[in-house]
Amino acid sequence: MEKTNARILIVDDDADVLLAARLFLRQHIEIVHTEKNPENIPDLLRNESYDLILLDMNFSRDATSGKEGFHWLNKILEIDPAAAVILITGYGDIELAVQGIKEGATNFLLKPWENKKLLATINATMEVRKSKVELQDLRGKQKVLIADQDAAYSNIIGSSPAMMRVLNTVSKVAKTDANVLILGENGTGKEVIARAIHRASKRADEVFISVDLGAITESLFESELFGYKKGAFTDAKEDRAGRFETASKGTIFLDEIGNLSQNLQSKLLSVLQSRKVVRLGSNKEIPIDVRLICATNMPLYQMVNEGKFRQDLLYRINTVEIKLPSLRERTEDIDVLVEHFLDQYCKKYKIQKKRLNASTLKRLQTHHWPGNIRELQHAVERAVIMSEGHMLEPHDFFLSDTQEKMEEETLPSNMNLEETEKMLVRKVVEKHGGNISRAAKELGLTRASLYRRMEKYDL
């Protein structure tokens, strides 16, 4: 018979019980340890990892009350919260066993026991232990993922008066559960601020769920935000929680809220008022507990006057309002922002650190930056890739207000320097229909340099 690969500890002051259990279980379990003195439990648990612990409820110094058993149960769970513990008790102590379950034991076993019952109880309890460990691992991984995701948004860079006013408001509102509305142009960092509020709040250890309302179609709005039951529609093959349920206990960030139609505004308002969602295909109301942060680049107050946005929804979402300045309103921060992006992309593409000269910085500070920080970020990335020297000159940045603007799309994170450069060269050459002079000018290269790159990449 193949033994189960597990480690079991049995704690009982009755030597006969220990002997009988050990002799039987060693036929089925790989490692079985026994211990008469419960005082040794802490040392055993610090030195060994057990899949299961069988613990007697009554020891000789406290033969009937079970208090000593509860003491050691609590000690075990203090050392290992995921421990699976089976309480060993007599027929007259069922109430004690039930109380033990309430205090954290996984199961209980009446003695004298039948060997088949003992083995069945052990196998069932080890399955529970396995589930506990898997759940702990899942939660641990979730925290790491959340931390990694937040790390990408952790840097709020800038010390201009405009940003200081924003950060002052963030520090005040983060401590509360007040709904927040963040207003600002595209690229000003609305999600960065939303994540900063979450990280500084009492919900920081819970999830942050970001929802781009501008990317959700009218037909998918309810299923995405409120969830659905199996069979609610053709492709609903299983029950699924919506974004609000998933965000419960944490923060939900609704970006581009100004894009919602009047019909969807009404549905959202109903949920925010009741703090309950109903999954599609169900009548059951599910309570939600979320911190709400919304954002938009649209003029909501003007839209209210024009009847395009519900006034009662606006009042509901903007208990506190934060207006993010555009980059042209905080030009004092451009030098530190550029330095940050230079560090980021020189490390990403594994090239020697590049610097700005004074004339280049002045050129960047006088540019209009219609795409704000996002445009600056992409401009620095392109300059890092395409420039040939370690000192960046004004012509390394493609800032001509009259040139056709390149699409502002994020470069794939898994591309190396050569792959990224090849993609940019091909894109610009195609854009100018093969006109090398125009393509070279936009890329900030000489015709000869562009020809060399095209030959290198077989373009």
Is 371 found in the same domain as 292? no
Range of the domain at 185: 161-325
Is 306 found in the same domain as 173? yes
Q: What is the pLDDT of residue 125?
A: 87
Question: With a threshold of 0.75, does the pTM exceed it?
Answer: no
Residue 151 lies in a domain: no
**Residue 124 pLDDT greater than 90, yes or no:** no
Is 245 found in the same domain as 131? no
Q: Stretch 200-224: mean pLDDT, rounded?
A: 92
Residue 154 lies in a domain: no
Is 271 found in the same domain as 129? no
pLDDT tens for residues 5-19? 889 999 998 888 899
Is 52 found in the same domain as 100? yes
Q: What is the pLDDT of residue 151?
A: 56
| 110-119, 130-139, 245-254, 263-272: least confidently modelled range | 130-139
**% of the chain surpassing 70 pLDDT:** 88
Q: In this predicted model, which residue has the larger pLDDT, 132 or 37?
A: 37
Residue 204 lies in a domain: yes
Q: Report residue 413's pLDDT band, with 50, 70 and 90 as the boundaries.
A: low
Q: Report residue 282's pLDDT band, with 50, 70 and 90 as the boundaries.
A: very high
Q: In this predicted model, which residue has the larger pLDDT, 54 or 152?
A: 54
Is 313 found in the same domain as 172? yes
pLDDT tens for residues 285-308? 999 999 999 999 999 999 999 999
Q: What is the pLDDT of residue 307?
A: 95
Residue among 321, 424, 427, 334 at smallest CA distance from 375 = 334
Q: What is the pLDDT of residue 414?
A: 60
Q: What is the pLDDT of residue 407?
A: 41
Q: What is the pLDDT of residue 140?
A: 62
Whether residue 244 contacts residue 292, with contact meaning beta carbons closer than 8 Å, is answered with: no
pLDDT tens for residues 54-93? 998 877 555 555 677 888 899 998 888 878 899 888 766 6
β pairing state of 285-287 and 291-296:
unpaired
**What average pLDDT does the structure give for the chain?**
86
**Residue 148 pLDDT greater than 60, yes or no:** no
**Residue 412 pLDDT greater than 90, yes or no:** no
